[in-house]
Amino acid sequence: MQRIPIPSKEITQVGYQERSETLEIKFEPGGVYHFFNVPADVFDGLMNAASKEGYYQSKIGRRFPCSRVG
């Protein structure tokens, strides 16, 4: 999955696969995680959020199943 660099302290790259609804986030430090069953509007919200970490905490973290992949 291709990732987009993000100008953020904790979230450094984000990727999304619409067909499988898989969101990939690279954390610094902390590794790379896949989040499953994430609707496209949640990905769009993350990309448009002024605070990526705040959006992650309120809309993604602990709301979708995830797996560490790197």
Per residue in 4-60, pLDDT tens? 999 899 999 999 999 999 999 999 988 999 999 999 999 999 999 999 999 999 999
Instruction: Name the one residue in this structure whose structure tokens are 């769009």.
Output: 44
Q: Give the pLDDT of residue 43.
A: 98
Q: Which domain holds residue 45?
A: 4-68
Token pair of 2 as six digits: 């291709």
- Rounded CA separation 13/34 (Å): 12
- Sequence-distant (≥ 6) Cβ neighbours of residue 40 within 8 angstroms: 16, 18, 21
Residue 23 three-state SS: strand
- Rounded CA separation 70/48 (Å): 25
Q: Give the pLDDT of residue 18.
A: 97
What's the whole-model pTM score? 0.94
Domain count along the chain: 1
